[in-house]
Amino acid sequence: MKMPGNMQAMMKQAQQMQERLQEQIAAIRVEASAGGGMITVKMDGRKNVLSVKIDPEVAGDVEMLQDMMRAAFNEAGKKVDDEAQGKMGGMLGGLGLPPGMF
């Protein structure tokens, strides 16, 4: 099925925007910490963990270490989501869509 020229151009533009958005999201880098900085996690836009820093003081208390690790990972994931949402909102804002649609 062949689409009208205007529709094809819109679809191509949407695809290009999607590709740019994916590149921008992949470039996101966030850092989150827990326990007053005793655990620090760095994560990219695809939620891959880039590094984990653990203060030697907490290494002996496994339960506390696990709790702080979970908190740091969750916070880093939330930061990635927030930044990605901001990038999507900025890019989609140029389309003139009604607020709240994405």
In the chain the domains, ranked by start, together with CATH numbers, are: 26-91 (3.30.1310.10)
pLDDT tens digits, one per residue of 29-74:
999 999 999 999 999 999 999 999 999 988 888 899 999 999 999 9
Q: Which residue has the tokens 């819109």?
A: 10
The answer to whether 72 and 41 have CB atoms below 8 angstroms apart is yes
Q: Is the pTM of this model over 0.85?
A: no
What is the helix (H) or strand (E) element at residue 54, kind and residue range?
A: strand 49-54
